[in-house]
Amino acid sequence: MSLFGEHAAGWLLFGAAGAVIDRRRRRDWVTATAAVALAHGASVGVKRVVRRPRPQDPRVQVLVGTPSKLSFPSAHATSTTAAAVVFGALLRKPLVAALVPPMALSRMVLGVHYPTDVVAGSVLGAAVAVVTRRAASRRTALRARKGNR
């Protein structure tokens, strides 16, 4: 899970595959994939502002490498939540409950995040996903109105 979520790469590849396979809804897949990328970028930006160090307790064995020493928010939780929201909507499947808790838990078990890191990441990912979906819906409605004139 950690490798799949690194830099949101697994989710970005999933979205790209959706755009290639589902040509009829290609624009929707591209928009959803952009939401995942935006969410990941937002988490990296917040990390650089907050600058919270990763957990450092001698009793906790860190089981994975990390691209930085910053932990808040969890970029894995952010991109996974965004992906679950936007791809779940496209697939008409409730993916949040299936994807987000295992990813969030894995980040804490691996010793690289505090619980508040993964909660904040999930909230940020959901917010970016919802805002992106609403903006895309408005754009689609505007295009439809212009086409009916």
pLDDT string in tens for the chain (149-residue length): 788 888 999 999 999 999 999 999 999 999 999 999 999 999 999 999 999 999 988 887 787 888 889 999 999 999 999 999 999 999 999 999 999 999 999 999 888 999 999 999 999 999 999 999 999 888 888 878 877 66
Q: Angle formed by the axes of helices 26-50 and 9-21, to 10°?
A: 170
Distance CA 22, CA 26 (A): 6
Instruction: Name which of 98, 101, 96 is nearest 83 in CA terms.
Output: 96
Q: Encoding tokens for residue 13?
A: 């590849």
Instruction: Name which of 67, 71, 66, 68 is nearest 54 in CA terms.
Output: 71
Distance CA 124, CA 119 (A): 9
Count the alpha carbons within 13 Å of 135 in the hemisphere toward its beta carbon.
11
Answer yes or no: pTM beyond 0.85.
yes
Confirm if 34 and 19 have CB atoms less than 8 A apart.
no
Domain boundaries, the chain: 2-147
Encode 26-85 in three state secondary structure.
Answer: HHHHHHHHHHHHHHHHHHHHHHHHHCCECCCCCCCCCCCCCCCCECCCCHHHHHHHHHHH
